[in-house]
Structure 1
Amino acid sequence: MSRRRRFLVATGAAAGMAALGLRSSPASAQPLKSARIVVGFPPGGSNDVIARLLADKLRGVYADTLIVENRAGAGGRIGVEVVRNAAPDGSVILQTPGTILTMYPHLYRSLGYDALRDFRPVSPICTFDIALAVGPETTARTVGELVQWFKANPQRASFGSPAPGASPHFVGLMFAQAAGLNLVHVGYKGAAPAVQDLLGGQIPAYFGTLADVAPYLDSGRVRVLATSGPTRAALTPESPTFVEAGYRSVQVQEWYGMLLPAGAPPSMATALNEALRGALRDSDVIARLKTLNVDPAPMSPSDFAERIRNEQVAWAPVVRASGFKPEG
């Protein structure tokens, strides 16, 4: 079965199960009347796709009415601020990439939020790799060929990512440094417009999740040259990791996670954690996440808080070594 067909079949299966009302419920709390998951990026990217999948499974379990609200801008920070300032009653949930909470403190001189002071961590949702993808602007089919193409075409040596300062941007910088390249970064407000420009030849390369480019792989319109995880991605087993391609310093795994405003009671975090774990055990959710090449990775709220704390510490020397200049 083709990658695109697997992607679409899983989508349809998840919708069908939702229509049948097949859900698992935590016993510890009655559902809220209404809630919303805030995503700091436009519709169409992997974070948004996963949020909508989970919203369907959490509806009637965590809240009777549950919607996804896209609050794009400022590299995901607008969505974070929306939840930070929301009522701490469990009805407003932040779903965000990890580095917005763990790397951003080292990139921006002033942030309006602190991940552990202003939020109550609930759980990671999944982990995933960052992919280097190319479109029709270049004929490169290996990382080495792309490096040579960039060197031969310095005026076109650029890459796009879903947001300035987010993990794909940073992985792109790590790659450029490791390859001895001077690449111009083109930041977008989300994955969808960046991938459209990749397809249109406005940018030659893109760093983002495999889910962002999955619909275009079978046709050959987009080619994945490498991925950032410790092992090859199941969706693109023919594509090496950056380590295999000779760039040992380029190894990163990102995650999406859910958090509530800091004032939310621990019982609400526990209820959402239980509901999320139930959703991540759903066979259709597992199948859909597999097509997106992300791995379910729930943990307790306390362990999640510790993970955020540890990653904040770990990113600091990496950011300094990259030469990336703080902004804002």
Structure 2
Amino acid sequence: MNPTPRSLAALALCTASLTLVATPSVAQSSSYPQQPVKLMVGFAAGGPSDLVARAFADQLGKAAGQTVIVENKPGANAVLATEAVAAARPDGLTLLAAATNHTMIPALYGSRIKFDAMKSFTPVCTLASSATVLVVGPSLPVKTVAQFLERAKARPGSLSYATPGQGSSPHLATEQFRKLTGLSLVHVPYKGAAPAVTDLLGGQVDLSFATLGSVLPHLKSGKLTALAVAARQRSALLPHVPTFDEAGVKGYVVDTWYGLLAPAGTPAEALRVLTREAGEFARSPAMRERLANTGLEPQAQCGEPFAAQLARELDAHARLAADLNLKAE
């Protein structure tokens, strides 16, 4: 039987009513965030963690139509910022811009920290990665890894290396290298990558196993010299710089990531929005260009794969710290 005009009108009215009823739930599904978001960084402004955080803050802020505030809280190898986020309300409005050093903190600080590196947080996504590169400043006139090793072995304990802090990823990367090569070097820790690079440029320290993002502009200007990258293949941003394998130090590979952690118990809706925007961030040509200029490459590994990576790193770094008898002061 063909529908009558009256039945069609009733059907249209019913459909419209259902649409009106459904509309609030659709709006509610994308309601996060309804207030400004705070993104905490455990290092000084200007370093790679800060650069990634500010780039993602721009992405999230524009997409969500809310202010995303980047707050730098340096100190104790990002422990201060990490504790602040772990203690925050799990509403998605306080987030942590974490990095590889996050999985090193438990091995170095033990019971002194007020959080669990896994249980206190929900891993959201990685946001970017950066190669680790051995760089020397004006106080150390060497051009190759072989020359560096020769000089360091001839005068044990005479060369100093800068890191963003005791127990930071560059610190453990350097200790791993020292264990592999038998070198004696003096550690000079700073409160972040930016002040470490400043003193390296000024000749107050001799070298650094730095993330590429923290030193690339100075490599391009010739103020610092890159000897090798700790990667399986050469960096597209430093095509003339060999890997450590090519330079004669076999098996020395260090991966550095920057990512987003939320307090444990953060609502699923907030995590969904953050995960979506991390993916958009990684796919954005504008963000890729913005980060490439500082030696960083966007990447988004989210949810369970990111959590599994954190668990593996926590175990590996605990073993490395135990082998080297490393503890934060």
Which TM class, normalised by the smaller chain length? 0.7 to 0.9
Q: Deviations over 1:234-264 (max 9, x none)?
A: 1211111122222224211011110111121
Paired residue type of 2:166: P
Q: 1:66 to 1:150 in 2, by over 3 A?
A: same
Matching of residues 194-273 of structure 1 within 5 Å: 194-273=196-275
1:40 to 29, 39, 42: 42
1:300 offset after TM fit, Å?
2.8
Q: Deviations over 1:99-120 (max 9, x none)?
A: 32x2222222222211221011
Q: Is the 8 A contact 1:62 1:272 kept in 2?
A: no
Q: 1:203 to 1:27 in 2, by over 3 A?
A: farther
Structure 2 residues not aligned, in runs of 5+:
1-26
1:138 maps to which residue?
Answer: 140
2:30 maps to which residue?
Answer: 29
* In structure 2, C-alpha distance between the alignment counterparts of 1:28 and 1:207, rounded to whole Å: 45
Q: 1:155 to 1:300 in 2, by over 3 A?
A: closer
1:85 maps to which residue?
Answer: 87
Paired residue type of 1:324: N
1:36 offset after TM fit, Å?
1.3
Residue 66 of structure 2: SS of its match in structure 1?
A: strand
Paired residue type of 2:240: E
* In structure 2, C-alpha distance between the alignment counterparts of 1:155 and 1:122, rounded to whole Å: 42
Paired residue type of 2:67: T
Paired residue type of 1:107: L
1:73 maps to which residue?
Answer: 75
1:148 equivalent to 2:150? Answer: yes
1:61 maps to which residue?
Answer: 63
Q: Deviations over 1:106-164 (max 9, x none)?
A: 22222221122101111111222211110100110011111222234445311011111
* In structure 1, C-alpha distance between the alignment counterparts of 2:78 and 2:65, rounded to whole Å: 25
2:21 maps to which residue?
Answer: none
* In structure 2, C-alpha distance between the alignment counterparts of 1:276 and 1:218, rounded to whole Å: 29
Q: Structure 1 residues 284-293 or 258-267, which shifts more?
A: 284-293
1:287 maps to which residue?
Answer: 289
Q: Is the 8 A contact 2:157 2:186 kept in 1?
A: no
Residue 221 of structure 1: SS of its match in structure 2?
A: coil
TM-score by length of 1: 0.86
Q: Is the 8 A contact 1:59 1:65 kept in 2?
A: yes
Paired residue type of 1:74: A
Higher helix share: 2
1:44 offset after TM fit, Å?
0.6
Q: Is the 8 A contact 2:85 2:263 kept in 1?
A: yes
Paired residue type of 2:78: G
Q: Is the 8 A contact 2:127 2:281 kept in 1?
A: no
* In structure 1, C-alpha distance between the alignment counterparts of 2:176 and 2:29, rounded to whole Å: 45
2:110 maps to which residue?
Answer: 109
Q: Is the 8 A contact 1:31 1:63 kept in 2?
A: no
Paired residue type of 1:222: L
1:192 to 181, 191, 194: 194
Residue 277 of structure 1: SS of its match in structure 2?
A: helix
* In structure 2, C-alpha distance between the alignment counterparts of 1:127 and 1:249, rounded to whole Å: 20
Residue 131 of structure 1: SS of its match in structure 2?
A: strand
1:326 maps to which residue?
Answer: 327
* In structure 2, C-alpha distance between the alignment counterparts of 1:285 and 1:324, rounded to whole Å: 40
Q: Is the 8 A contact 2:38 2:68 kept in 1?
A: yes
1:31 offset after TM fit, Å?
4.0
Residue 141 of structure 1: SS of its match in structure 2?
A: coil
1:96 offset after TM fit, Å?
1.0
Rg bigger for which structure?
Answer: 2
Structure 1 residues not aligned, in runs of 5+:
1-25
1:28 offset after TM fit, Å?
4.7
* In structure 2, C-alpha distance between the alignment counterparts of 1:235 and 1:277, rounded to whole Å: 23
Aligned residue pair count: 301
1:175 maps to which residue?
Answer: 177
1:185 offset after TM fit, Å?
0.7
Q: Is the 8 A contact 1:138 1:149 kept in 2?
A: no
1:94 offset after TM fit, Å?
0.3
Q: Is the 8 A contact 1:286 1:296 kept in 2?
A: yes
